Structure 1
Amino acid sequence: MKILHTSDWHLGQNFFTKSRLAEHQQFIQWLLGTVESEQVDCVIIAGDVFDTGTPPSYARELYNRFVVDMHRLGCQLIVLGGNHDSVAMLNESKQLLKQLHTQVIASVGTEISEQILEITKSSGDVGAIVCAVPFIRPRDVLKSMSGESGSEKQKALGEAIKAHYSALYQNALQLRSSKELDVPIIATGHLTALGVTTSESVRDIYIGTLDGFAADGFPPADYIALGHIHRPQKVAKSDHIRYSGSPIYLSFDELKSQKQVVLVEFASSHLVGIEPVAIPSFQPMFSLKGDLASLQQQLDSISVEEGASVWVSIEVEVQDYLTDLQQAVQKMIGDREIEVLQLRRSRAHRERTLNQEQAETLSELSPIEVFGKRLAVEVFDSEEDKARQQRITTRFKQIVEDVEGERS
C-alpha cells in the first residue's frame, strides 16, 4: 500500500498580482506522473486545496480535472478541508466526486463514523483505515463558556481537539478489529503543531486561543499527514508525523526549503518507508538582500531563459533614504525579464530612522503624527503605492475624527 501525502495547494492564489495558474498546472501534471510511476494507491491532500472560499473558475476547473485524471489512473483521493477552504463549496460536489473514488471531508461532522475512511488496494481489499481530520474550527468541538480566561480557553480547545482525535482513533481500532484487518491506521490534520517553523504566507488559525497543538495530543497512528504549514518538516522529531508543505512557493521566505510530497509505504500494517520526493520549481524566484553594489552583482548573476520571467524580492540595505529607489533598481535590471514583486528597505534602516526620532515621546505627538511615523517605516515608492498610502492616511484621519467626535 502506497500513500502520497501533499497539502496546501492554494489553487487560485494571487501572488503580488501574479497568477499561479501555470505553476499549478505543471505541478499537477508532475504529480499525476509521479502517481503513475510510483503506483500510488491513494493521494491525501491535507487541507487548503484552494486559496480562498470563493476561488476563481479556473481553480475549480483544475481541481475537477485532477479528480477525473486520478480516477483514470485508478488512484483514490482523499481531500480534507483547510482553513482557507469553503466548507459549502467543497461539499457541493462531494457526492458526485465520491463516484470517482474521491472522498471529501470538508469539516468535522456530527457523526464520528463519517471521518473514518477505508482505502482499498488494487485487489479490492482494504489496505488502510484513515482518521480523516480536516481543519477543526473551535465551534466544531467546543462550547463557549462565559467567564473563561484566555489561558482556560486555550487549554480547553487543545483538550477538545485531543479528545476528537482519540475518539476517531478508537473507532478506527474497533473497525480494524471487527473486520480482522491487518492494515495501518493513518490520521490527518490541518493545524499548527507546537515547535514547527512557519512562513509569511501561513495564516494564524486559532488567534489568541491556541499557539500550537502538542504532538502528544495526536493518537498513536502509523502515519499522521498534516497540512497548514508550508515548509516540509517532521513534528517533534517523529518520522511518522509530518507536514508535506505546499507544492509551490507561496512566499519569498519559503525559498530556502525544497518543496516536496511524501511517499509513505506499508506492508500490511507495518510502515516500511517514508520518502520525501522533491518537486521541481516551475517559476524562477529569488530573494535578494544587500547594498546597491551587492544587489547589482546578484541581479547580474541571475540567468533568465528565453521566453521566461524571473520574480524577485529585494531588500535594500542603505544608510541614507533614497527617494528614487524603485528607479535605481529598475536601472540595474535594464531590459531583462526580471520582475521585482517586492521591494523594501532593510528593517535595520527603518529602525534607525525611528531611533533618530526617539527623543520625541508619545505625549508630544498627535495620533496622526504617530501614524505618519509608522507609515514612514514602510516602502511606498511606486505611484500605486503612493496612492495606497494616501488612502490609508485619509482613512486613518477619518477614524481619528470619529473617535474624537464621540469623546466631545
Structure 2
Amino acid sequence: MRVLHTSDWHLGQHFMGKTRLAEHRAFLAWLIGQVREHAVDALLVVGDLFDTGSPPSYARELYNHFIVELRDTGAELVILGGNHDSAATLGESKTLFARLNARVIPAVGDCLDDQLLVLHRRDGQPGALLCGIPFVRPRDLLRSRAGDSAADKQLSLQQAIQGHYQALHALAEARREALGGALPIVASGHLTTVGASASESVREIYVGALEAFPTNAFPPAAYIALGHIHRPQKVGGLEHIRYSGSPIPLGFDEARQAKEVLLVELDANGLRAVTPLPVPCFQPMRSLRGNLAELGPALRAAAADGSPERPVWLDVTVVGDDYLADLATPLATLHEGLPVEVLRIRRERGRDKAALAPQAVTLEELGPQEVFAQRLAGEALDEPQRQALQQLYRQVLSELPD
C-alpha cells in the first residue's frame, strides 16, 4: 500500500501583494505526476487545504480541477480540515467529491465512524485503515466549565484529544478484525506536537490552553501523518510520526527549506519505508541583510536564481545607513535591470537609536498572537498576569466560529 502524505497547501494565499496561483498550479501538476510515477494508492492531505475560511474563487477552481485530474490516476484522495479551513466550506461538496473517489473529513463530528476510512489499493482491495482526525476545535470534544484554571483546561483537553484518538484506534482495530486481519492502521492530526520545530508563517494554534500534544499520547498506529507545521520533520526522531511540511515556502523564513511530500509504504506488518520526494522550487525567494554597500553584490548574486518571467522575491533588511530617510530609491538603483522584485524593506537600527525610534511594523507582518503580545507590552503587568491573559486570549481565538 502506497500513501502520499502532504499538507498545508494554503491555496489562495495572498502574500505581500502577490498571488501564489502560479506556484500552486505548478505544484499540483507536479503532484499528479508523482502519483502516476510512483503508482500511489491514496493521497492524504492533512489540513490547511485553503489559506482562509473563505478562499477566492480561483483557489476553489484549482481544487476542483485537481480532484477531477487525480481521479484519472486511479488514486484515492482524502482531505482533512485544518485550522485555516472552514469546515462548512470543505463540507459543502463532500458528497459530490465522494463520487470522484475523494473523501473529505472537514471537522470532528458526532459520529466516530465518519472518521474511520478504509483505504484501497489500486486493485480495489483494502490496503489500510485511516483514523482520519482533522484539526480539533475545543467545542468538538469539551464543554467549558466555570472555575477551571488554565492548567485544568490544558489537562482536560489533552485527555479528551487522547481519548478521541484511542477510541478511534480501537474502532479501527475492530474493523480490521471484521475485514479479516492484517491491515496497517494510519492516523492523522493537524496540530502542534511536543518538540516540533515551527516557522514564522505558522499561525500558532492553541486548542483551549493546549499548546502542544505529547507524542506518547498518540495511539500505536503504523504511521501518523501530521499537518500544521510547515517544516518537514520527524517528531521526536520517530520514523513513523512525521510532518510533511508545506509544499511551497509560505514565508521568507521558509525560503531555504527543502520542501517535500512523503511517500509512505505499508504492508500487513506495518510501516515498510518513508521516502521524501523533493518538491521543485516554483518561485525563488530570498532574505538579504546588510548595508547598501553589501547589498549590491548580494542582489546580483540573488538575481542568478531569477529570470524576467520569474523574478526572485526579496525581503531586504538594511543595516546601518541610518542617515538615509528613504531606502526604496537607493535599493531600486542597486537592482535596476536585475530579475528581482523587492517585496519588503526593513531597517535595522543600532540599539541606541532603536530605543528612541522603534522599527515600524505593519499588521501584515504580525499574527493575532503577536498583536496581542505587543498590546500587553504596553501595560504595567507582572509576568503571571501577562501569561494568564495570553492563555485566555488563546482560548478565545480557538473558540471563534469559522
Q: Same fold (TM over 0.5)?
A: yes
Aligned counterparts, 1:37-56, within 5 A: 37-56=37-56
1:114 corresponding residue in structure 2: 114
The equivalent of 2:129 in structure 1 is 129
| 1:175-202 C-alpha deviation (Å, 9 max, x unpaired) | 1112223111000000011111111111
1:219 aligns with 2:201: no
Partner of 1:318: 320
Unaligned runs of 5+ in 2: 365-374, 376-402
Q: What corresponds to 2:331 in structure 1?
A: 329
1:100 aligns with 2:82: no
For 1:352 and 1:216, locate their aligned partners in 2 and report how far apart those are by CA, in whole Å. Answer: 47
Tell me how large the CA RMSD over aligned residues is: 1.8
Q: Distance in 1 between matches of 2:21 and 2:312?
A: 16
Report which of the two structures shows the higher radius of gyration computed on alpha carbons. Answer: 1
**How far is the alpha carbon of 1:97 from its aligned partner?**
0.4
Query: 3-state SS of the aligned residue for 1:160?
Result: helix
Give the Cα separation in 2 of the matches to 1:60 and 1:321: 48
Structure 1 residue 308: Cα displacement: 2.2
Q: Distance in 1 between matches of 2:216 and 2:354?
A: 44
**Whole-angstrom CA distance in 2 between matches of 1:320 and 1:312:** 21
Quick one: which of 360, 369, 384 aligns to 1:378?
Answer: 360
Partners of 1:343 and 1:379 within 8 A in 2: no
Note the 1:175-190 alignment, pairs <5 A. 175-190=175-190
Deviation at 1:121, TM superposition (A): 1.1
- Displacement after TM superposition at 1:207 (Å): 6.8
> Whole-Å Cα distance in 2 between the matches of residues 126 and 181 of structure 1?
11
Q: Distance in 2 between matches of 1:251 and 1:305?
A: 21
**CA distance 1:178–1:351, shift in 2 (3 Å):** farther
Give the letter for the 2:135 counterpart. Answer: F
- Between the aligned partners of 2:160 and 2:52, the Cα distance in structure 1 is 27
Distance (whole Å) between structure 1 residues aligned to residue 344 and residue 307 of structure 2: 21
SS in 1 for 2:281: coil
Match for 1:377: what amino acid?
Q
Aligned twin of 2:387: none
| Deviation larger for 130-139 or 317-326 | 317-326
C-alpha separation between the residues in 1 aligned to 2:353 and 2:206?
34
Q: Equivalences for 1:352-363 in 2 at 5 Å?
A: 352-355=352-355, 357=356
Match for residue 256 of structure 1?
A: 256
Q: Is the 8 A contact 2:300 2:338 kept in 1?
A: no
Give the AA of the match of 2:97.
L
Shift of 1:300: 1.3
1:389-408 alignment to 2 at 5 Å?
Answer: none
Contact 1:310 1:337 in 2 (8 A): yes
Partners in 2 of 1:14 and 1:249 — Cα distance? 13
- Provide the residue aligned with 1:63 in structure 2: 63
State how far apart, in whole Å, the 2-side matches of 1:20 and 1:12 are: 7
Give the aligned partner of residue 281 of structure 1: 281
Cα distance between partner residues in 2 of 1:350 and 1:215? 42
Structure 1 gap segments, 5+ residues each: 358-372, 386-395, 397-408
* Residues 89 and 353 of structure 1: CA distance in aligned 2, closer, same or farther (over 3 Å): same
1:208 offset after TM fit, Å? 6.6
Q: Larger deviation: 302-311 or 274-283?
A: 302-311
Matched to 2:256, the amino acid is K
What one-letter code is carried by the residue in structure 1 that aligns with 2:53? G
Conserved in 1, the CA contact under 8 Å of 2:157 and 2:208?
A: no
The more displaced of 336-345 and 35-44 is 336-345
Q: Show the counterpart of 1:91.
A: 91
Amino acid of the residue matched to residue 83 of structure 2? N
Provide closer, same or farther for how the CA distance between residues 350 and 139 of structure 1 changes in structure 2, counting only shifts above 3 A: farther
Q: Deviations over 1:288-314 (max 9, x none)?
A: 112222211110112132422210111
Show the counterpart of 1:204. 204
Decide which moves more: 294-303 or 10-19: 294-303
User: Residues 367-402 of structure 1, C-alpha deviation per residue, up to 9 Å, x if partnerless?
Assistant: xxxxxx5xx42268xxxx9xxxxxxxxxx9xxxxxx
Aligned partner of 1:336: which letter? L
Greater shift in the superposed pair: 85-94 or 299-308: 299-308
Deviations 1:35-64 (CA, angstroms, capped at 9, x unpaired)? 000000000000000001111111001101
Instruction: Tell me the CA shift for residue 321 of structure 1.
Output: 4.6
User: Post-superposition shift, 1:336?
Assistant: 2.2
SS at match of 1:73: coil
| Counterpart contact for 2:136–2:207, Cα < 8 Å | no
Tell me, in whole angstroms, the C-alpha distance in 1 between the residues paired with 2:208 and 2:118. Answer: 36
Contact map agreement 2:262 2:275 (CA 8 A) in 1: yes
The aligned amino acid for 2:244 is S
3-state SS of paired residue (2:171): helix
Letter in 2 for 1:78: V
Higher mean Cα deviation, 8-17 or 207-216?
207-216
For residues 229 and 283 of structure 2, the distance between their equivalents in structure 1, rounded to whole angstroms, comes to 21
- Paired amino acid for 1:9: W
User: What secondary structure does 1:181 align onto?
Assistant: coil
Aligned length: 363
| Corresponding position of 1:29 | 29
Distance, in Å, in 1 between the alignment partners of 2:57 and 2:205 is 26
Distance 1:184 1:305, change over 3 A: same
Mapped contact 1:186–1:224 kept (Cα < 8 A): yes
> What CA distance in whole angstroms lies between the structure 2 residues aligned with 1:131 and 1:36?
25
Change (3 A) 1:292 1:166: same
Kindly indicate whether the alpha-carbon contact (under 8 Å) linking 1:345 and 1:379 is maintained by their aligned counterparts in 2: no
Work out the CA distance in 1 between the residues paired with 2:350 and 2:229: 29
Corresponding letter in the other structure for 1:272: R
CA contact (8 A) 1:284 1:310 kept: yes
Alignment identity in percent? 47
